[in-house]
Amino acid sequence: MTASEDPPVDVEYLVQASNVTVRFGEVVALDNFSTRVHTGITGLLGPNGAGKSTLIKTVLGLVEPESGDITVDGLDPRRDMTRVRDRVGYMPEHDCLINAMNPVAMVSYMGQLSGMTRKDSIQRTHEVLDFVGLGEERYRPIKSYSTGMKQKAKLAQAIVHDPSILFLDEPTNGLDPQGRDEMLEVIRRIGASGKTLLVSSHILHEIEQVSQNIIIINEGRLIREGPTSALMHGTATQYRLRVRGTAEAIEGLKKAISPAFKVMSTRDESGQISMLVEGEGSSATIFAEAARAGVQVRYFGPDTLTLEDVFVSVFKGGGPGGD
């Protein structure tokens, strides 16, 4: 393929990575990693340090891989950074906001940077701020914002130029349950409009709710990928459930979920109760029963200590111990 002609674009897979390795000193953040991101919403799931942010940054051309190939809408981000930028939106994991500005000023400024006229950009900014659910507070400086409002503003700046591909790095980070639900709903609506979204999280439950496809990464390696329905289908499934509540309420929760989930082990982790649960029930059951029992769910998802084992067992149908 020559540099002068655009390669054919696989419209189903606008983002592709082949054999990508990224190293930071001794750390191999991506280890010969290959994947393709299908149109619609793809969840990028993995524990802390798995390589999720590195993958996103590498695909965006912000991190230089040691080896491997990447295409975004048929373009190489290393060669065609500007054209890639026009097509993608990026909601970084960490703060990317200008604290002294209000979101109207900031987001419309971002719109103008991506080539819109001032007038178009301001109009579009109000549309996207409506869409993400920021009301009159849009005229307040971002430094006065709660985490939930900041996440909305971060999402708004990512979509102001109407990109066809979106990378959302832990968009629900720091949000309370209501904020999380609102964010997931907005993501779902974007996904329904035919765009390509890669959404990272370390919470299986969230990813499972919105994604048509899932990529599981751990220690820089691809663990599993495929349609959510196929990955989640019908095998005995183990999860880590961490909760806070009175001993009585937690006992109540265990009983309430027991038809769908069996509690395999329970341990006290400095005031937080951590349980290994197994079952084929819906994760919604856990959340509904916890709310009813007055128990706060701090985590529900893969056991981060043995993520690889758990996922191999979950998705291949065997047990980590071979039973």
Quote the CA–CA distance of 250 and 129 in Å, as a whole number. Answer: 40
Task: For residue 239, list its beta bridge partners.
Answer: 277
Question: Quick check: 231 and 214 in contact, CB under 8 A?
Answer: yes
Q: Tell me which of 50, 149, 156, 215 binds ligand ATP, using CB under 6 A.
A: 50
* Residue 218 in contact with Mg ion, rule: CB under 5 A: no
Residue 41 CB, shortest distance to Mg ion, in Å, is: 18
Residue 264: both structure tokens together:
């395999």
* Residue 53 in contact with ligand ATP, rule: CB under 6 A: yes
Instruction: Identify which of residues 54 and 196 has a Cβ nearer to ligand ATP in the complex.
Output: 54
x/- map, 193-222, ligand ATP, by CB under 6 A: ---------x--------------------
* Residue 48 in contact with ligand ATP, rule: CB under 6 A: yes
Q: Candidates 44-52, 80-88, 187-195, 291-299 — which segment interacts with ligand ATP by CB under 6 A?
A: 44-52
Torsion of Cα atoms, 261 then 264 then 269 then 273, to 10°: 30
Which of the listed partners (Mg ion, ligand ATP, none) does 198 bind, with a CB threshold of 5 to 8 Å by partner kind?
A: none
Nearest to 43 by CA among 193, 203, 150: 203
Instruction: Identify which of residues 24 and 323 has a Cβ nearer to ligand ATP in the complex.
Output: 24
Beta-sheet pairing, 221-227 with 213-218: antiparallel
Residue 218: both structure tokens together:
């751990």
Task: For residue 43, list its beta bridge partners.
Answer: 199, 214
Instruction: Identify which of residues 2 and 94 has a Cβ nearer to ligand ATP in the complex.
Output: 94
Question: Quick check: 8 and 16 in contact, CB under 8 A?
Answer: no
Task: For residue 274, list its beta bridge partners.
Answer: 242, 267
Which of the listed partners (ligand ATP, Mg ion, none) does 165 bind, with a CB threshold of 5 to 8 Å by partner kind?
A: none
* Residue 54 in contact with Mg ion, rule: CB under 5 A: no
Which of the listed partners (Mg ion, ligand ATP, none) does 29 bind, with a CB threshold of 5 to 8 Å by partner kind?
A: ligand ATP
Instruction: Identify which of residues 53 and 102 has a Cβ nearer to ligand ATP in the complex.
Output: 53
Site for ligand ATP in 55-114 (CB under 6 A): 93
E strands in 120-195: 165-169
Quote the CA–CA distance of 58 and 65 in Å, as a whole number. Answer: 7
Q: Tell me which of 53, 108, 121, 211 binds Mg ion, using CB under 5 A.
A: 53
Residue 6 CB, shortest distance to ligand ATP, in Å, is: 30
Quote the CA–CA distance of 266 and 300 in Å, as a whole number. Answer: 14
